[in-house]
Amino acid sequence: MGMKVVVDYDRCESNAICMQVCPEVFEVREDDNLYLSTETPDESLRAKVEESVRRCPRQAISIVEDA
């Protein structure tokens, strides 16, 4: 079982806090929009993704356990 990163783009402000915590998964580009480099990051990144979820001021990021 792995994780899947889900972003609610209606809530996301693209403030890049998640990118500061986990640049391997999150990227705010020059167009000021958030992009995921992968929706299903390696398990070794779980702690960083979970911290990104906690630190998101708009609570726009979540993790879904993928079967």
Go through the domains of the chain in sequence order and give each one's CATH number.
2-66 (3.30.70.20)
Confidence of residue 65 (pLDDT cuts 50, 70, 90): very high
User: What is the C-alpha to C-alpha distance for residues 28 and 52, in angstroms, rounded to an integer?
Assistant: 14
C-alpha distances (whole Å) from 57 to each of 33, 42, 64 are 16, 24, 19
pLDDT per residue over 24-43, tens digit each?
999 999 999 999 999 999 99
C-alpha distances (whole Å) from 44 to each of 8, 40, 49, 58 are 23, 11, 10, 25
Q: Read off the pTM.
A: 0.93
Best CA proximity match to 49, nearest among 19, 14, 28: 19
